[in-house]
Amino acid sequence: MKIISAVFIIIALISGTAFSITLDEAVKRATDGSYLLKEQKETIESYRFSYISTIDPYLPRVDIQSSYIRSLNSKNSVSSYSSFSSASDAGSSLDAYTFAGSVSYRIFDGGERYAKRKGSYSLLEREKERYKGIRQDVIFSIKSAFYTALGSRLIVERRREAFDTADRIYKLTLARYQEGITKKSDVLQAEVRMTTSKIDVQRAEREYEKAIEDLKSLIFMKTEEKTDADGPLEEPRYKADYESLNGRAMRVKPEIITQEKEIERLNMAYVEKRSAWFPRIDAELQQTRQDRRFFPEGRSDSFMINFTFPLFDGVGRYYNMQGALSNVNAAKQRLEETKRTVSLDIIKAIKDYELTLANVILYKELVREATTTFNQLLGEYRVGKGDILSLLQSEKDLASAKENEVAALYRANVALSYLEKVAYVEHE
């Protein structure tokens, strides 16, 4: 019984233990399970199959055809078929069977085949670049959620520290009151501060729980599963340079490459429309068998070169070509607008990142100053030289400075993650 009880206790302890997850694990879970990425992968597969199918016009075409003809007008109607196997068949049958086989190949089409294949390839490449952009968005979302959860957890710890400090001040003040050294109002003020700190702890715990739920949703964990964000929350050391980041983004950022591939596709659509102004040249080798037998024996072999050129078919060819050219020009303008937006996003992200770094430095200094002030006032209060109001205010300022330092740290990491996203750069 003791062994069984021990096993149950161990299981209970294990089930109640939260699973800690690091940033790398969270990113891997998010990217492996993302529905957006899975959807885009299927889209890429669809375009890949479409691209493979565009090889067909470059290949010869083989056709077979079989038909049965029954004359309803006259017994001699079928005698006009010169492919009967013998003269005795003429005029003696109302039935005719035909079997034909042909091999054809398009020799020239004005670039239509090439344009369709190249355009399909550009579509495939466009979707691949779009996948990279979606993946970068997913990574930023998980990094933002992770750092927010990690920062919220540390804020809970800072508020618990503040509560412990307020509790010690309250007990100290109560002891001094019982000794007749201080007033009842001092005890009440210390008690109010302690209760306020307890409320702050509860509020921070709820905020952390919500942040953890956001993180769990992104890494596809169930609500009932327990987890904690684990890892150091350090000041980022990355030095951002606008010129290098912007130049690199212009070359490799998925949004820009996607638009460039779209321009290539539209250029090929224009070439395809333009090909309607060129002739079509086809070669065909055909064998035809026809007589009154189900397996015809009458045979006719032929080789043909077909030359087709539409002299006039309305104005559609011209305006279709002009419309395709306008689409190309519009896409070029969208590319320039995309580049402008990317450059603006990068410079704004750098400014935000630099501001968060400056805040980290200032709050670290503020924590150092507030700690010195609090220790000084606490020492004076213990020897009966200070007042409770100054001590409580300094304790409150110290707690606020520590909390703001944590908030500045996680905001700096989130700002760096956003900079990596808009500039499409991996921070090492």
pLDDT above 70: residue 76: no
31-72 tens-digit pLDDT:
999 999 999 999 999 999 999 999 999 999 999 998 888 877
103: in domain: no
Residue 10 pLDDT: 40
Sheet with strand 299-308: strands edge to edge: 61-70, 95-108, 280-291, 299-308
6: in domain: no
Query: 3-class DSSP state for residue 191?
Result: helix
130: in domain: yes
102: in domain: no
Residue ranges making up the domain that contains 335: 17-60+111-279+314-423
Contact indicator for 404, 370 with CB cutoff of 8 Å: no
Let me know if 224 is exposed, middle or buried by CB neighbors in 10 A (0-12, 13-18, 19+). exposed
5: in domain: no
418: in domain: yes
Residue 146 pLDDT: 96
What CATH number is attached to the domain comprising 131? 1.20.1600.10
294: in domain: no
pLDDT averaged over every residue in the chain: 88
Residue 300 pLDDT: 87
pLDDT above 90: residue 420: yes
Average pLDDT over every residue of 8-14: 39
190-241 tens-digit pLDDT:
999 999 999 999 999 999 999 999 999 999 998 888 888 888 899 999 998 9
Residue 8 pLDDT: 36
Residue 92 pLDDT: 52
301: in domain: no
324-352 tens-digit pLDDT:
999 999 999 999 999 999 999 999 999 99
Average pLDDT over every residue of 120-144: 96
Residue 93 pLDDT: 57
364-402 tens-digit pLDDT:
999 999 999 999 999 988 888 888 999 999 999 999 999
Q: How many domains, the chain?
A: 1
Please state the pTM of the whole predicted model. 0.84
Q: Tell me which residue of 162, 152, 168, 172 sits closest to 196, measured CA to CA.
A: 162
Residue 427 pLDDT: 47
pLDDT above 60: residue 411: yes
